[in-house]
Amino acid sequence: MGYVTVVEEVRKEPSWFTQGWEIKDEGGREVVYESTGLYGASRVVKWDLLTGDVLRETANSAKEFGEGLTVVGDRVRQLLWRENGVREYDRETLSPVDGARATHGMKDGWGLAYSAGRGEVAGTDGSHRLYLLDPETLETRAVREVTDNGRAVGRLNEVEWVNGEVWANIWLTDCVARIDPDSGAVRQWLLMDNVAARLRSTDGGGRPDVLNGIAVSERTGAVWVTGKKWHRAYRVEVSRQTDEASDLAVARDMCIRDEYKF
């Protein structure tokens, strides 16, 4: 089990119901591609991590609920929640690509992340299953049952590839699972309750929505996290690790949840 420390923070738009985000290196500038959710408020936004300035923005239709997002080459792909669909946008302009609406084999659309090194997209649908998808067609190549000590780990949500692992936050918790993409085993739990507590301390004691968003800076390799309607994003580092059985039991109690049911 590991604990994280916040080493940097930036401001971001607090009205965005963050569903998925990635940080790309564009001309030496860290540029965020973000998908937001909720019917009537879903959109894809491109913004500057350092300044918070919005560079491009495209709204979904009122009938679409945006979910996870990833960048593959010159395309931005945005999952839709319950439509079994994926919207595609031009990376430079965020203009929708006509006719480029893929489907996938997941039950719902939750998380999405592309690994150029593996040539695969990781996807989640709120269950304990991690899907490995073809980056062009989004056809399912493999499905991993994500488990920890023999227990299914449900509510897998936003995902990111980090040094060959898939990191997934667990919906409605402050937990991130480090998953072996070849076996589905949870290698380690990362607890981020102190990150949410830090946000509350800058928000007049108000309760922010849930942790939801893991991104690795393409330029620096740093890990950033955020949440739904959070007005800040945080660069974090693993500061302490423990192999104590009692600590691991606490982590499992906090982090392992039933699968998502609507």
- Give the CATH number, domain containing residue 210: 2.130.10.10
> What tokens were used for 197?
């507590």
In a domain, 246, yes or no: yes
In a domain, 221, yes or no: yes
In a domain, 260, yes or no: no
* pLDDT, tens only, 7-40: 999 999 999 999 999 999 998 899 999 999 999 9
In a domain, 138, yes or no: yes
In a domain, 262, yes or no: no
Number of domains in the chain: 1
Determine the pLDDT at residue 241.
76
48-82 burial by CB neighbour count: b if 16+ within 10 A, else e?
ebeeeeeebebebeeebbbbbbbbbeeebbbbbbe
Percent of the chain with pLDDT over 70: 95
Q: Which of 95, 97, 96, 127 is nearest to 109 (CA)?
A: 127
Determine the pLDDT at residue 262.
60
In a domain, 39, yes or no: yes
In a domain, 120, yes or no: yes
Domain holding 80, by residue range, is 2-255
